[in-house]
Amino acid sequence: MKLDGANLMALARGTAVLGAGGGGDSRIGLLAAQQACEEHGPVELVDLDELPDDGLLMPCGLVGAPTVSIEKIVNGSEGERLRELVERHFGREVVALMPAEIGGLNGLQPIAWAARMGLPVADADGMGRAFPELPQSTLNVAGISPGPGFLTDERGTALVLHADSAEWLERILRRVTEEMGGLAASGDYILSVAEARSATVRGSVSLAMRFGRTLMEAQSDPVAALVEELSAHRLIAGKVIDVERRTTGGFVRGHALVQGLQGDAQRILRLEIQNENLIALEGGEVRASVPDLITVLDSETADAVPTELLRYGQRVMVIGFPCDPIWRTDRGLELAGPRAFGYDIDYAPIEELHAVAPV
């Protein structure tokens, strides 16, 4: 399938939904992808089965604080520089790019880079959503080596980092990203197509596009159409009454409060944020948590709102829906469950939470 024009718009709306508040503002990724496809032609979206087994695949995206990505724009050449570093290191050609995470602008940025290089993009990603940290990848769950890590910025500063764990890669790359101004482009978990077939969330680019189309094509109530398609749970319909947000340590951290409307005015849902919406709490009870997805939709436009754009007074619908099954394995929860983010909370699948406590 060719990616351009209309399907990029659908993709952007879908990656925002799958971002769970993170991955950066999809509209910025959309502009970058549209411009690159206009200048260099459309990008081929390919299934991993269409690529050669031993071809080198480059998962890539932006790393840093989404608040910074609004102001500090990439210059477009980051992907080529990452590819050069990767090909020089491995001594082989990259056959396709892949989003490291499908969520937010990171679901689109690799398309912008691929257009400039005439490379295809694989219909898969390493998260099935967005997560803030490098170890939180299905490639890590599957045992793919995360390193060496490749990082570059808009100035052309670039590095190749060897470390013995995803955690050390994350520590060092995060500090470098901070020094680069809070946002950089990275490629990690470089792997072969054969390895990727069982280590990624497959079809996630197409899936995001389908969700986007659902929103765009709904006749009357796009939120309802999306909720039905996602098998999502409505956590609250309300108004943002408080947002606390700090750009610190290479992340956005904070919380937001959403108060119910009309008859629900006594209800307040609290969202805990680290780039993504991590946990939804109501009256001290967990209503949804990582690795399941918590997405805030604008009540009027049905656009998913990234955490860096949440603002006082916004009318929103907060929904929760199940993550890819790989995150519910022991290793998946170890890397991306509530405790991985420092919360002393046991994970319970969102459908169980809402089977016993209907909204």
Site residues for a copy of itself per CB under 8 A: 155-164, 168, 171-172, 175-176, 178-180
Q: Which is nearer to a copy of itself, 184 or 207 (CB)?
A: 184
Q: Which is nearer to a copy of itself, 49 or 179 (CB)?
A: 179
Residues constituting the chain: 359
The nearest distance, CB 108 to a copy of itself, in angstroms, is 27
Could you tell me if 28 and 73 are in contact, meaning their C-beta atoms sit under 8 angstroms apart?
yes
Q: Which is nearer to a copy of itself, 156 or 325 (CB)?
A: 156
The nearest distance, CB 90 to a copy of itself, in angstroms, is 12
Of 317, 295, 321, nearest to 232 by C-alpha is 321
Of 109, 139, 123, nearest to 204 by C-alpha is 123
Half-sphere exposure of 130 (CA within 13 A, CB side): 38
Name the burial class of residue 349, with classes exposed (0-12), middle (13-18) and buried (19+) by CB atoms within 10 angstroms of its CB. Answer: middle
Written as six digits, the tokens of 293 are 């997805």
Q: Which is nearer to a copy of itself, 158 or 261 (CB)?
A: 158
Q: Which is nearer to a copy of itself, 180 or 190 (CB)?
A: 180
The nearest distance, CB 109 to a copy of itself, in angstroms, is 21
Q: Which is nearer to a copy of itself, 178 or 282 (CB)?
A: 178
Of 221, 68, 80, nearest to 152 by C-alpha is 80
The nearest distance, CB 195 to a copy of itself, in angstroms, is 24
The nearest distance, CB 249 to a copy of itself, in angstroms, is 11
Distance CA 200, CA 98 (A): 10
End-to-end CA distance of the chain: 40
Distance CA 314, CA 305 (A): 10
The nearest distance, CB 12 to a copy of itself, in angstroms, is 32
The nearest distance, CB 154 to a copy of itself, in angstroms, is 12
Q: Which is nearer to a copy of itself, 171 or 328 (CB)?
A: 171
Half-sphere exposure of 177 (CA within 13 A, CB side): 31
Distance CA 161, CA 146 (A): 10
